[in-house]
Structure 1
Amino acid sequence: MISMLQKHHQTKFSRGLLSFSLLALFTTSPSIVYSQTDTYPNRAITMTLPMAAGGTSDLVARMLAPALNEEFGQTVIIENRPGANGAIGEEFFSRAKPDGYNIMLESTSIATNPWMSKQTYDARKDFIPVILMASVPLVLVVNEKVPAKNLAEFIELAKKQPGKISYSSWGNGSIGHFAGESFKISAKVDILHVPYKSTAQSISDALAGQVNSVFPTLPLAIQHLKSGKIRALAVLSAKRSPMAPEIPTTAELGYPGLEIETWFGFFLPAKTPDAIVQKVYQVASKVIQRPEIKAKLEEQGFRMINSPPAEFAKYYQAEIARYGKIVKEANLKDAD
């Protein structure tokens, strides 16, 4: 009888303890999550940059870093992880902890890579688009020795020598590669693609005359136009850039559909708490709206955007689909 009573009390005690434990779990868990996000960040943040030093992404990252340090109240460490048009850095970032201490600054390449390389991650699902900050148009430039003074002459030259005129890019699947292929489709010409491992290399060989042309971002082109070693034929956009109003657009030259720009935004790993996503968005948005930073970016030809997470996510998925259509139309493969 005593034994049965003991078992009865033990059972009631166990049930009571379980109920208390569950109650404690459900009542304390939200506060635990809250405290983790409320104190974010409390240590250094790594900014993964899937591109090499010297490119436009690197330029943007180093322009924003000091202000990000101030707004976060923590050091933001830039870590370049270049290779395979950003796919190496993206793969690394896809395995990062979703705690907000690793953010990625990426460009349009993240939307082209799914179509041009075999990936161990899913670019559509493994990243959270946080903020679309700005974009900048690409520009067609040719080496000084190319006997074409304008876009019409360049197209005529290319048609007379199919497969002979070359253009460089910073890798298969890069936005420079897609600009070249889009140009081939629009102008109905056959020009040779020569891929390099970095933006700096692709521009360097265009300057040296190893390749005939290249499609860099406008800020990078401007740096070299004054040397006289390259000549700008057209900005791949609908409107002329205030940074270089003398360069005509592809739209006004008869190719309104040939508009290629590269955009820049921050991403976080999938499953990052929404409170942290919003925090990073608020900080980044505040930084790019600083008058001195906004002025610097606009002076270099950037168009400010500042899209929040939901809006950026929709745009990002549309961009992936858009470049998929170009891949199909141009019959592109990884080796192209």
Structure 2
Amino acid sequence: MQRRDFIRFAGAAAATSSIAGPLHAQASFPSQPIKLLLAFAAGGSTDAMFRVMADNASPLFGQTVIVEAKPGGGGTMAGQLLLQAKPDGYTLAQLPISVFRLPYTQKITWNPVTEFSYVIGITGYSFGIAVPADSPIKTWADLVAWAKANPGKLTYATSGIYTTPHLTMEDISHRLGIEMNHIPYKGMAEIIPAILGGQVMAVADSIGFGPHVVSGKLRLLCTWGATRAKKFPDAPTLTELGVPIVQNSPYGLVGPKGMDPAVVKKLHDTFKRAIEMNNHIEVMGRYDQELLYMSPEQYRKFAEDTMAREKVVIERLKATGKVT
């Protein structure tokens, strides 16, 4: 073979190899179980949905999809553990938006937007504000009027400092020119006795308090979604009340930085089928959640926008001395 022919042959072989590589990766993946790191404790609403999604996806992959709960750090532990994982597609994690607050609440050396391979956006949470049924505050207008007449005296509970409910309430307060007193708790297990026992005047959190609204112990003043909650159609949204905020804290699946695009596509396409199955839609409905699908490109753009928005709110809070 002459040198010119050899070079032409080598070039063609290299080109064929570069095409075959991703195709082979997609065809052979997965060859072992896939692990999903859950950002919150087992037994909750997110755990229930993840397990249905995993069960749906397992036969589609031909491999078991395993869910491992990694709670901690306000939902950031799973994402941080992913930083040490191999970018081979076999370890993925739920990524709550609390991860995008880390640069503004802690000293970290990595960028939450750029350190992950975005796979798919799945859903978000349903939030709202409720008061005891015997409270003199009957409507959202009552709450705002009371807060304006009594600056800093209206107490409200959330599941913690820097959580989505806390930052959203601070954003609401800023927009309306009112001041409320934030009382952080560790979760709904602590919040419910506090609100029912009169230790706080209101609760602002995910609608884990919904059963107490249904039983008549709490009154739901508003919800934070783009549309009214299906279970509570009488409760207006913030936007209906003149507060231009939609907050559903979307989350999805991400992998380590540097994953093969063909593997990302295989993961995306398979999990998209899994989350669109009727049993997954049904379990989301139990918790007043709906699909908030995002492609890998949309999910990454969402991450960039969220990180910029969270910075504004947190820096404003720090400037007022409300947090350190």
TM-score normalised by length of structure 2: 0.84
**Equivalent position SS for 1:327:** helix
Give the length in aligned residue pairs.
314
Tell me the CA shift for residue 265 of structure 1: 0.8
- The correspondence of residues 234-273 of structure 1 with structure 2, limited to 5 A, is 234-255=222-243, 257-273=244-260
Tell me the CA shift for residue 301 of structure 1: 2.7
- 8 Å Cα contact 1:145-1:209 kept in structure 2: no
Tell me the CA shift for residue 72 of structure 1: 2.1
Q: Percent identity over the alignment? A: 27
- The residue number in structure 2 matching 1:167 is 156
- 8 Å Cα contact 2:45-2:287 kept in structure 1: no
Determine whether 1:122 maps to 2:107.
no
Distance of aligned partners of 1:179 and 1:289 in 2 relative to their CA distance in 1, 3 Å threshold: same
- Following TM superposition, where does structure 1 have runs of at least 4 consecutive aligned residues deviating by more than 6 angstroms? 23-30
Tell me the CA shift for residue 123 of structure 1: 0.4
- 8 Å Cα contact 1:142-1:206 kept in structure 2: yes
1:329 is aligned with what amino acid?
A: R
Distance of aligned partners of 1:72 and 1:245 in 2 relative to their CA distance in 1, 3 Å threshold: same
2:220 is aligned with what amino acid?
A: A
Structure 2 CA distance for aligned equivalents of residues 201 and 68 of structure 1: 35
* Higher gyration radius (CA): 1
Structure 2 CA distance for aligned equivalents of residues 203 and 62 of structure 1: 26
**Equivalent position SS for 1:261:** coil
Distance of aligned partners of 1:186 and 1:56 in 2 relative to their CA distance in 1, 3 Å threshold: farther
- 8 Å Cα contact 1:167-1:192 kept in structure 2: yes
2:280 is aligned with what amino acid?
A: I
Structure 2 CA distance for aligned equivalents of residues 133 and 204 of structure 1: 32
Structure 2 CA distance for aligned equivalents of residues 119 and 59 of structure 1: 31
Distance of aligned partners of 1:273 and 1:27 in 2 relative to their CA distance in 1, 3 Å threshold: same
1:230 is aligned with what amino acid?
A: L
- The residue number in structure 2 matching 1:227 is 215
- 8 Å Cα contact 2:113-2:300 kept in structure 1: no
Tell me the CA shift for residue 302 of structure 1: 2.4
- The residue number in structure 1 matching 2:179 is 190
Larger mean CA deviation between 173-182 and 143-152 belongs to 143-152
Structure 2 CA distance for aligned equivalents of residues 236 and 91 of structure 1: 28
Distance of aligned partners of 1:159 and 1:262 in 2 relative to their CA distance in 1, 3 Å threshold: same
Tell me the CA shift for residue 245 of structure 1: 0.8
Structure 1 CA distance for aligned equivalents of residues 302 and 80 of structure 2: 21
Structure 2 CA distance for aligned equivalents of residues 112 and 334 of structure 1: 16
1:303 is aligned with what amino acid?
A: E
Distance of aligned partners of 1:143 and 1:113 in 2 relative to their CA distance in 1, 3 Å threshold: farther
Tell me the CA shift for residue 104 of structure 1: 0.8
Distance of aligned partners of 1:173 and 1:198 in 2 relative to their CA distance in 1, 3 Å threshold: same
Distance of aligned partners of 1:94 and 1:209 in 2 relative to their CA distance in 1, 3 Å threshold: farther
- 8 Å Cα contact 2:78-2:95 kept in structure 1: no
**Equivalent position SS for 1:142:** strand
Tell me the CA shift for residue 127 of structure 1: 1.0
1:170 is aligned with what amino acid?
A: S
Determine whether 1:44 maps to 2:33.
yes
Structure 1 unaligned runs (5+)? 1-22
Determine whether 1:276 maps to 2:263.
yes
TM-score normalised by length of structure 1: 0.82
Please tell me the root mean square deviation across aligned C-alpha atoms, in Å. Answer: 2.9
**Equivalent position SS for 1:216:** strand
- The residue number in structure 1 matching 2:206 is 217
Determine whether 1:313 maps to 2:292.
no
Tell me the CA shift for residue 152 of structure 1: 1.3
